[in-house]
Structure 1
């Protein structure tokens, strides 16, 4: 039996809006993992089960993973749920398992967070996400009750079984069935796995590690050794300093491109032959056009999702190619919801998450990388020339400002750019933070200012048709945001 809510252990610092993530063992330990497993069974797994309930569980390379997985599996089994442990996997490998088997899943990872963290990404059958509005809040509350009391256990005869399996080869084969790389021109590719799960999946998908035929790819491995302490650099390619080794290696090896994966390998960043990053917005446009072309060839009207921080080039090019584009808030749960609701063929984010209808509407960095390889290898030009058409505008990237009073800082920007503008060409919306756009006027620019959910930060993104205008808008908005000496 659960305890009264008044005695509930507070897990709000650990179980957040979209996933579970915290320090090991202070916030996440075997007792907590077992309680979350039992709560996941009761809230998500058992209510949707039409046959013997079953869950697939995987973990990344963090040292704390196996012990937490075992405890989580025990919590599931205690509630009468069978568990399939597939061991090491990327997050998209877990999504493949959930989607192909048609059962709920749990991925133990803290993505790009430092070594002392771990976490859990939960999904329903078919890799459908579990977030704060789709069950995660109830999981948090029930797990808190179980920690304050105890996990109720089914009778021994109904207890769930725990078995082990391996789906890496099936995952690799499935991705290869979606993008055929066998006929491209030979490419030399430097892959920086950052000691994360890319070092596990890249040899299987792009090489012969899973027993698949050899592709015309010369893979130069960088930090493929699985090591959850991240001895070389953080597995977060969103930070420029974590790309430097890859950039140098691409030039040193005279490679055609470089690929960088984050810790759980669900995101992929791309470097051209000069060592210059190709923006995730450009990759969204490139991959989006490939998927749009395929949809139209099949006689379907394509829809592509992009978040509101994505470059204006994405809707510009995709609409011109005959697609319907849907703009959404930042965050994978919003993207995935829009993907499913619109039966969208593809979705992209500025953070290098890429979503595919053919991949259960889930995100997969590896499949996006394969599309880039196919596009590059299917024509004679270097990546810098190919990507140039997808990067026509100037962007600031995301700039964070720590402010004492978020509301006051935001109000100063509203006063300057909205209230005083009158009925001019500026368009304003609050889909996610404050977006002000002058794209229909001259000069062309837009910016978005969003507050952090967890810190006293304002996040600014600016884009303009040329560098000078971008810098002026960026500097003017930052001056308003940081007027009281914040920074």
Structure 2
């Protein structure tokens, strides 16, 4: 049966169930296509050492076999492969940046056990997305699988090397944020049986041979297990934070941290067991990075996507930063990070990007900044969070609809054409954003379509809870109709 790679290779990465449609044969074809379309063109006609890539994988059982097949496809084109084994996605980005090599991370992030995938990047952890090479990779891999393009027939001339990079990754992060002089903190960490169980002991503990920090780590679900026996490794879903919230209160901890499956995202819980929004974390970390830039006599730019709270640009602009608003999606954020030489970027989904980390996203570095901000003063985290969370947000609400354009048109008609003419601001940077922020009452919403499913995603924010609920409910009534069904919050 023919495999259509459009269902497997999406806008930002490769993601699918194993062994079908994501089989070793598919992984090998993608490896060959990646080498042919991304790696070799970057080398061009230059002479010198042989081109190479770095490859890592998370704790999923299917990872090693897929890595082996992918590697075979790469070396068949004369490209060397440095395998770093078990790692987090930001660990792979660090290796790509430190070694100046393109990279491939085998992970399905927060998806269930039967899934796996690949996150691809160019040298220096630069993104490979739909508009930056992934479309060409998909087309070439599809041609190989269909027999329209012949894969290399040689035994392969590239070489495979193994390298341990965890200690280097931990040292790199420790050098970016000094936690040695903060007050003692008790920190509950829920790794969700994902790669946080591998990286936290190295970065925040002493597993990598680094000096001890004034942190008492209370570990939860640190055993690496790609079947996720305790809960899904997706902290954006509120039910997956319940164990952490209870543990923070039970242990009298100062803070709780939750990582997703590949540990590139980090979610924060305060000492009361209350989740701190990623928008508040974006502001908190962004202000720290802005102050660092100002102290060095440099102007600071911070990137945020259009779903983050209005407090993010308001507070960062007040601190002297230039803020740049982007579409949702890591490839857009990373492109703007590099284009504007931005010091930091944040998304509503708890992806945090740092210029000091090759313009890539790392949940661990964001967590370290939060620990530093908390430990450098005496107030509890809940007090800090209140400073950066002045408004009320709905969270992302997904609605499955039979006709996405028609549902969107109903909302546009009601809020823009009929009632909103001259009273609201409208933009279509990513979906439909309608804002009544300059008037009273203050509110805005964004409604955007999923790239892969018949879903509309709604985010609402207002100055008070009653207005948020009113706008949320009114828009959902227009979107759903009598036969529609809703789905809970979902990661991007």
Is the TM value for this pair above 0.5?
A: yes
Q: Does the 8 Å contact 1:79/1:152 carry over to 2?
A: no
Instruction: Please give the alpha-carbon distance, in whole angstroms, between the structure 1 residues aligned to 2:406 and 2:15.
Output: 31
Instruction: Please give the alpha-carbon distance, in whole angstroms, between the structure 2 residues aligned to 1:396 and 1:255.
Output: 27
Q: Does the 8 Å contact 2:427/2:433 carry over to 1?
A: yes
Q: Does the 8 Å contact 1:79/1:154 carry over to 2?
A: no
Cα offset, 1:430, TM superposition: 0.4
Alignment partner of 1:414 out of 402, 412, 415: 412
Cα offset, 1:151, TM superposition: 5.3
* 1:115-170 CA distance string (max 9 Å, x none): 000000000000001111111111111112222337533756x7001111100000
- Name the counterpart of 2:367: 369
Per the normalisation by structure 2, the TM-score is 0.96
Q: Does the 8 Å contact 1:268/1:369 carry over to 2?
A: yes
Q: Which moved more, 1:419-428 or 1:86-95?
A: 419-428
Instruction: Please give the alpha-carbon distance, in whole angstroms, between the structure 2 residues aligned to 1:479 and 1:9.
Output: 39
Cα offset, 1:10, TM superposition: 2.6
- Name the counterpart of 1:221: 219
Q: Does the 8 Å contact 1:80/1:154 carry over to 2?
A: no
- Name the counterpart of 1:197: 195
- Name the counterpart of 1:3: none
Q: Does the 8 Å contact 2:3/2:21 carry over to 1?
A: no
- Name the counterpart of 1:27: 21
Cα offset, 1:8, TM superposition: 8.4
- Name the counterpart of 1:268: 266
Any idea what SS the aligned residue of 2:399 has? strand
Q: Does the 8 Å contact 1:265/1:365 carry over to 2?
A: yes
Instruction: Please give the alpha-carbon distance, in whole angstroms, between the structure 1 residues aligned to 2:321 and 2:411.
Output: 34
Instruction: Please give the alpha-carbon distance, in whole angstroms, between the structure 2 residues aligned to 1:282 and 1:322.
Output: 18
Spell out the pairing of 1:204-353 with structure 2 (5 A cutoff): 204-353=202-351
Alignment partner of 2:121 out of 111, 123, 148: 123
Per the normalisation by structure 1, the TM-score is 0.97
Alignment partner of 1:88 out of 55, 70, 86: 86
Q: Which moved more, 1:427-436 or 1:147-156?
A: 147-156
Q: Which moved more, 1:431-440 or 1:471-480?
A: 471-480
Cα offset, 1:423, TM superposition: 4.4
Instruction: Please give the alpha-carbon distance, in whole angstroms, between the structure 2 residues aligned to 1:306 and 1:105.
Output: 25
Instruction: Please give the alpha-carbon distance, in whole angstroms, between the structure 2 residues aligned to 1:226 and 1:151.
Output: 38
Any idea what SS the aligned residue of 1:418 has? helix
Instruction: Please give the alpha-carbon distance, in whole angstroms, between the structure 2 residues aligned to 1:155 and 1:415.
Output: 60
Instruction: Please give the alpha-carbon distance, in whole angstroms, between the structure 2 residues aligned to 1:307 and 1:395.
Output: 15
Q: Which moved more, 1:466-475 or 1:108-117?
A: 466-475
Q: Which moved more, 1:297-306 or 1:144-153?
A: 144-153
Spell out the pairing of 1:13-24 with structure 2 (5 A cutoff): 13-24=7-18
- How many correspondences in the alignment? 480
* 1:300-328 CA distance string (max 9 Å, x none): 11000000000000001000000000000
Q: Does the 8 Å contact 2:303/2:337 carry over to 1?
A: yes
Q: Does the 8 Å contact 1:191/1:220 carry over to 2?
A: yes
- Name the counterpart of 1:11: 5
Q: Does the 8 Å contact 1:38/1:151 carry over to 2?
A: no
Any idea what SS the aligned residue of 1:448 has? strand
Cα offset, 1:261, TM superposition: 0.2
Structure 1 spans left out of the alignment, 5+ residues: 1-6
Instruction: Please give the alpha-carbon distance, in whole angstroms, between the structure 2 residues aligned to 1:159 and 1:376.
Output: 52
Instruction: Please give the alpha-carbon distance, in whole angstroms, between the structure 2 residues aligned to 1:133 and 1:446.
Output: 29
State whether structure 2 residue 133 is matched by structure 1 residue 152: no
Spell out the pairing of 1:448-459 with structure 2 (5 A cutoff): 448-459=446-457
